[in-house]
Amino acid sequence: MSSFGEHFGGTGAKLSEPEGGCYTWLEMPLGTDMTALRDKAFDAGVGYQAGSIFAPNNDGDNYARLCFGYESPEKNREGMALLAQILDDNGMLKAAD
């Protein structure tokens, strides 16, 4: 996911470094509602699962579980760029304080 820094650098977003499997976690700054954005992102061509569905108290709205195992590296780079653009278009991608 080398394109992560290119598109999310300086925003306070973090990407987990999985040691196996085909998923990674995107953590956006608190207040970023990845749950509310999910359907809009999916309609634009980027699918992810909102973190709130994995959290015991339905918190985790600022997380997204991304799958990188089924697409090519090129397609994953395109998806990361598109997700950043969708977040930016919706006022959710801001430089960290």
Long-range CB contact pairs, 82-90, < 8 A, 24+: 82/44, 82/45, 82/46, 83/7, 83/26, 83/41, 83/46, 83/48, 84/7, 84/8, 86/37, 86/40, 86/41, 86/44, 86/46, 87/28, 87/32, 87/37, 90/37, 90/40
Give the pLDDT score at 21: 87
pLDDT tens, position by position, 9-23: 999 999 998 888 899
Domain ranges (residues) in the chain: 3-89
Nearest to 93 by CA among 23, 21, 11: 11
What integer is the mean pLDDT of 22-44? Answer: 95
What's the CATH number for 3-89?
A: 3.90.1150.10
Give the pLDDT score at 75: 92
pLDDT tens, position by position, 47-66: 999 999 999 887 899 999 99
Residue 1 predicted with pLDDT over 70: no
What integer is the mean pLDDT of 20-42? Answer: 94
